[in-house]
Structure 1
Amino acid sequence: MLDQDFRRWQVGQVRITRIVETAPVVSPVTLMFPDESDALITPHHGWLKPHFLSPEGEMLVAWQCFIVETPDRRILVDTCIGNDRKRYFDIFNDMHNPFLEDLRRAGYPPESIDTVLCTHLHYDHVGWNTHFVDGRWIPTFPNARYLFGRVEWDYMIGLAESGDWQHAGHVPDSLQPIMDAGLADLIDVDFQVCEEIRLFPTPGHTPGHVSVHIESQGDVAVITGDIMHHPLQMAIPDKPCAFDHDKEQACCTRRSFLTRYQDSNALVIGSHFPEPTAGHVRSDQSAWRFDT
């Protein structure tokens, strides 16, 4: 369902609202799969078009967050990139997106969020954890508990301590201020957030990556996180992606995830999938496709 600018889904008593921070951008095949060409996509044009490919046939990738509202909780899943940052990719530097205004227009002012949940701790999933006020980074959601995976935290802090600022440059502005404010809870990969929402481990992209399983009144949805960046990966689950930390593990995780949710009524919400973002996993010979 589209409500003005916001895509919303109802899963039993749970309402999920998508807030798009960064509109879809073209991602050449070689960015995810350096040794491939556009021929990798061609056999799948029939189901990838028109939503997930540009008119020229290149992959489209979006950055967005999801508010998961239960009868008594307001949970924000992943917080995108954030404004006023310096990041590895130029397109994410010094951004000035109306993200907070969009949250308010959708009915979720920052002070109303009680939980911030990060599927993993890459910079493009934690950016709006904080915002820049009077010369310092402060928590954007002052009334929320921030749920960071314990394995993820140790991994990211290890990168920072080793001086790997290409991959951990966001720790000082997006993660450490939450810890310093006493708002972070380090959790296990199978953490039960509330009655309707639980996490389950989906490692490979990062060591402690999780996906979010939502179940209410017999309806099921799942927010993928970065086990896939594009629906194309359903058709080629065993193709290593350049973005994944442990490529072999990531391929195994994709297969396990797709097998788990294939040919069911479970609504699969792709964290980086552009509009319409959600659909169903359908088996397709020895692999899968995304049915919207």
Structure 2
Amino acid sequence: MTQRTSSHTTGESAPTWAVGDLLVHRIDETPLPPQTGPWLLPAATPDVVRSTPWLQPRFAAPDGVLRLASHTFAFEVNGLRVLVDTGIGNGKPRTNPAWNQLDTDYLQRLTAAGFAPESVDLVILTHLHTDHVGWNTRDDGGTWVPTFPHARYLTSRIEWDHWAGADMDEPRRQMFRDSIHPIRDAGLLDLIDVEDTAETDGPGAAPGTEVAPGIRLLLTPGHTPGQVAVELRSRGRSAVITGDCIHHPVQLGHPEITSCVDIDPEQAVRTRRRLLALLADTGTLLLGTHFPPPTAGVVRSEGSDYRLDEEPARRGPTAT
């Protein structure tokens, strides 16, 4: 496989949101096919989606099928260049046809946004699922090597310990072989003890675990045992990058909707309800890891549940 590393891009520059002094860039990998929604969130039927009118037309198609995407987020804080999650990756054997042997311009888009792989200092992995760790590595003459050779890769210790003791099937073992073990073997993987925020009063009060000034990891278990969301703070504004504790905005209007791959669905619902209650009506920017464009918004109370009021992105500069 030939890896693209050009600093030029043929597409639009990265959508960007301001969080105080921080600029958060969405780095697109690929839209996910229409069949993803019915598989991933089976309770989000077309009737349920159509009963939630604010989802259309941006977050769902007219026929009630959810729109989803794979992307990551990049930002710089106090000179630290950070990437949250690394998507599916190119050229990797996967059982999901939409992910198998992918060939996208993701690295070109990342570089065009000003984050060339060699310039990234920190990679935060919200959890160790295939579509969140793929660009951890790239192919180099038949060997998987770290894509971000100067970065520390962080994930929660709970997450690592879970998978280290799990009886994994062959597709998941393959993912660990090509996307996790090479960064561990290179000495780039750091395990973080994340403080449980379940008994606190909100992201502002929730201690979580600070990994750098303005960046905290918030434990959001259920989808996986050690999944984290990422909270950013700058000049009085905050943002939360969801990971997979919220897959799609339909789960704001219907927090009880679970994913077919949630390890503990009941815990996932409790986590989601708690997080939404903490964020609602605070002005905190919510950035969904799989939300289709417009991707970001603020959580508003709507009856006993919630809605997402979109916050339009601006287009950041394109590197040349």
The equivalent of 1:179 in structure 2 is 184
Please tell me whether residue 249 in structure 1 is matched to residue 267 in structure 2: yes
Which deviations, in whole Å up to 9, do the C-alpha atoms of 1:221-258 show, x marking residues without a partner?
Answer: 11011011110011111233212110000000000010
Following superposition, the deviation at residue 57 of structure 1 comes to 2.4
Following superposition, the deviation at residue 24 of structure 1 comes to 4.3
Please tell me whether residue 200 in structure 1 is matched to residue 218 in structure 2: yes
Distance 1:244 1:211, change over 3 A: same
The equivalent of 2:130 in structure 1 is 123
Residues 27 and 60 in structure 1, CA contact (< 8 A), matched pair in contact too: no
Could you tell which deviates more after superposition, 21-30 or 187-196?
Answer: 21-30
Please tell me whether residue 65 in structure 1 is matched to residue 72 in structure 2: yes
Residues 75 and 115 in structure 1, CA contact (< 8 A), matched pair in contact too: yes
Residues 151 and 208 in structure 1, CA contact (< 8 A), matched pair in contact too: yes
SS at match of 1:225: coil
The count of aligned residue pairs is 287
Please tell me whether residue 41 in structure 1 is matched to residue 49 in structure 2: yes
Distance 1:35 1:18, change over 3 A: closer
Cα distance in 2 for residues equivalent to 1:278 and 1:30: 22
Cα distance in 2 for residues equivalent to 1:169 and 1:179: 15
The equivalent of 2:84 in structure 1 is 77
Partner residue of 2:297 out of 275, 279, 283: 279
Residues 29 and 38 in structure 1, CA contact (< 8 A), matched pair in contact too: no
Residues 145 and 183 in structure 1, CA contact (< 8 A), matched pair in contact too: yes
Instruction: Give matches, 1:93-242, under 5 Å.
Output: 93-159=100-166, 162-189=167-194, 190-242=208-260
Which deviations, in whole Å up to 9, do the C-alpha atoms of 1:15-48 show, x marking residues without a partner?
Answer: 111101012432465313446632121211x200
Q: TM-score, normalised by structure 1?
A: 0.94
Residues 24 and 274 in structure 1, CA contact (< 8 A), matched pair in contact too: no
The equivalent of 1:14 in structure 2 is 22
Following superposition, the deviation at residue 129 of structure 1 comes to 0.3
SS at match of 1:107: coil
Could you tell which deviates more after superposition, 24-33 or 260-269?
Answer: 24-33
Gaps of 5+ in 2: 1-10, 195-207, 311-320
Q: TM-score, normalised by structure 2?
A: 0.86
Cα distance in 2 for residues equivalent to 1:149 and 1:118: 8
Q: Which amino acid aligns with 2:142?
A: G
Residues 26 and 54 in structure 1, CA contact (< 8 A), matched pair in contact too: no
The equivalent of 2:318 in structure 1 is none
Residues 237 and 255 in structure 1, CA contact (< 8 A), matched pair in contact too: yes
SS at match of 1:90: coil
The structure, 1 or 2, with the larger RCO (C-alpha pairs under 8 Å, 6+ apart) is: 2
Residues 268 and 280 in structure 1, CA contact (< 8 A), matched pair in contact too: yes
SS at match of 1:259: helix
Gaps of 5+ in 1: none
Indicate the structure with greater helix content: 1
Could you tell which deviates more after superposition, 236-245 or 247-256?
Answer: 236-245
Cα distance in 2 for residues equivalent to 1:219 and 1:250: 26
Cα distance in 1 for residues equivalent to 2:115 and 2:80: 12
Residues 8 and 18 in structure 1, CA contact (< 8 A), matched pair in contact too: yes
Cα distance in 1 for residues equivalent to 2:170 and 2:209: 29
Cα distance in 1 for residues equivalent to 2:40 and 2:32: 15
Please tell me whether residue 291 in structure 1 is matched to residue 309 in structure 2: yes
Over the aligned positions, Cα root-mean-square deviation in angstroms equals 1.6
Report percent identity of matched pairs: 44
SS at match of 1:170: helix
Which deviations, in whole Å up to 9, do the C-alpha atoms of 1:65-119 show, x marking residues without a partner?
Answer: 0002113110100000000111121111111111111111111100110001001
